[in-house]
Structure 1
Amino acid sequence: MGITGAYTWEDISSLGMEAYFQPIYNVEKHRITGLEALFRAKDGKGGFLDPESLVQEAEEGGWVHQIDLWMVRECCRWYTRFAEYGITRMNLNLSPQTFMEEHAAQEITGCLDRYGLQHGKIWLEMTELGRNADSGKLLATAQELQKKKFNLVMDDFGKGESNFIRLMDFEFQSIKLDKELVWGIGSRKMGMPIVQTLLVFAQRNHIWVTAEGIETAEQAETLTRLGCNYLQGYLISRPLPADRCVEFVADWEKKDILAQPEAGR
Structure 2
Amino acid sequence: MRVRFGPHPSVIASRRAMARLAAVCYLTGGLVGFLTAWLVPAWEDRAAALAVSSVALIGGVLLVLCGERLSVRGFYGLVFATLALLALQMSSQRGHAEATAAALLLPLLSMFVHAFFDRRATLLADAGIVGLIALAQFAWSALPVAIAATLVCVNGVVAAVTGWLVRAAAEADIDLLTGLPNRRGLVRALRVKLAADRDGTPLTLALLDVEQLVDSAARRGPAAADDLLRGLGQTWSAEAGPAVVARYGDTTFAVLVTGGVTATTALLERLRAAASTAGGFPVGTAGHCAGDTSALLTGRAESALSEARRTGGSSTVHYEDTAGVASQLTAALTAGEFTVVYQPIVDAAEGRVTGAEALVRWIRPGLGPVPPNDFIPDAERSGFIRVLDRWVLRTACQAAASWPRHVATKVTVNVSGQELDQPDYYDQVVAALADSGLPADRLVLEVTESTLDADSAAALDVLRRLRALGIRIAIDDFGTGYSSLSRLHRLPADILKIDRSFVAVLGPTDQEAPVIAAITALARTLGLRTVAEGVEEPHQAALLRRYGCDEIQGWLYGRPGDPELIGAALAGPRTPNHLLTGNR
Higher relative contact order (CA 8 A, sep 6+): 1
Distance 1:15 1:49, change over 3 A: farther
Alpha-carbon spacing, 1:195–1:236, altered in 2? closer, same or farther (3 Å)? same
Counterpart residue number, 2:559? 238
2:371 to 23, 27, 50: 50
Deviations 1:233-265 (A, max 9, x none): 0001111123344445556767556xx9x7653
One-letter code of the match for 1:176?
K
1:179 is aligned to 500
Corresponding position of 1:205: 526
- Asked if the contact 1:212–1:231 (Cα under 8 Å) also holds between the matched residues in 2, the reply is yes
Residue 148 of structure 1 deviates from its aligned partner by 2.0
AA partner of residue 229 (structure 1): D
- C-alpha distance in 2, partners of 1:131/1:93? 12
Which residue does the alignment assign to 2:345?
A: 24
Alignment CA distance shift 1:48-1:84 (3 Å):
farther
Q: Tell me by how many angstroms 1:164 deviates.
A: 3.1
CA shift in 2, pair 1:82/1:98, >3 Å: same
Whole-Å separation in 2 of the counterparts to 1:3 and 1:212: 34
Is 1:142 aligned with 2:463?
yes
The aligned counterpart of 1:117 is 438
- Distance in 2 between residues matched to 1:163 and 1:3, nearest whole Å: 39
Specify the SS of the correspondent of 2:521. Answer: helix
154-163 or 219-228, larger mean C-alpha shift:
154-163
Q: Which residue of 2 aligns with 1:220?
A: 541
Change (3 A) 1:87 1:147: closer
User: Which of the pair has more CA radius of gyration?
Assistant: 2
SS state of the match for residue 402, structure 2? Answer: helix
Aligned length: 262
Aligned CA distance change for structure 1 residues 126 and 218 (closer, same or farther; 3 Å): same
Sort the Cα spacing of 1:189 and 1:116 in 2 relative to 1 into closer, same or farther, 3 A. Answer: closer
What whole-Å deviation, never above 9, does each CA across 1:69-121 have from its counterpart, x for those lacking one? 11111122111332268461011111122212111011111210222222111
Q: Determine whether 1:99 maps to 2:420.
A: yes
Cα drift, residue 222 of structure 1: 1.0
Aligned residue for 1:61? Answer: 382
Q: Which residue of structure 1 aligns with residue 132 of structure 2? A: none
SS of residue paired to 2:506: helix
Q: Report the Cα distance in structure 2 between the residues aligned to 1:54 and 1:42, rounded to whole angstroms.
A: 11
Equivalent residue runs for 1:68-87 within 5 Å = 68-83=389-404, 86=407
Tell me: CA distance 1:246–1:217, structure 2 relative to 1, closer, same or farther (3 Å): same
User: What's the CA shift for 1:184?
Assistant: 2.5
Aligned match of 1:162 in 483, 491, 515?
483
Asked if the contact 1:255/1:263 (under 8 Å) is kept, the reply is: no
Q: CA deviation at 1:198?
A: 1.2
> Which of 25-34 and 175-184 deviates more?
25-34
**Deviations 1:122-154, CA, capped at 9 Å, x for gaps:** 100001444999833322221221222211100
69-78 or 10-19, larger mean C-alpha shift: 10-19
Query: Which deviations, in whole Å up to 9, do the C-alpha atoms of 1:151-188 show, x marking residues without a partner?
Result: 11000112131253331121310011001111223489
Is contact 2:401-2:436 (8 Å) kept?
Answer: no
In structure 1, the partner of 2:360 is 39
Give deviations 1:34-53, integer Å, cap 9, x for gaps. Answer: 10001112212262222232
Alpha-carbon distance change, 23 to 132 in structure 1, aligned in 2, over 3 angstroms: closer
The 1:250/1:101 distance shift into structure 2, 3 A limit, reads same
SS at match of 2:536: coil
Q: Which has the higher strand share?
A: 1
TM-score, normalisation: structure 2 = 0.41
Q: Distance in 2 between matches of 1:147 and 1:165?
A: 22
Change (3 A) 1:174 1:39: same
Contact 2:404 2:570 in 1 (8 A): no
2:471 & 2:450 partners in 1: Cα distance?
20
Percent identity of paired positions between Structure 1 and Structure 2: 25
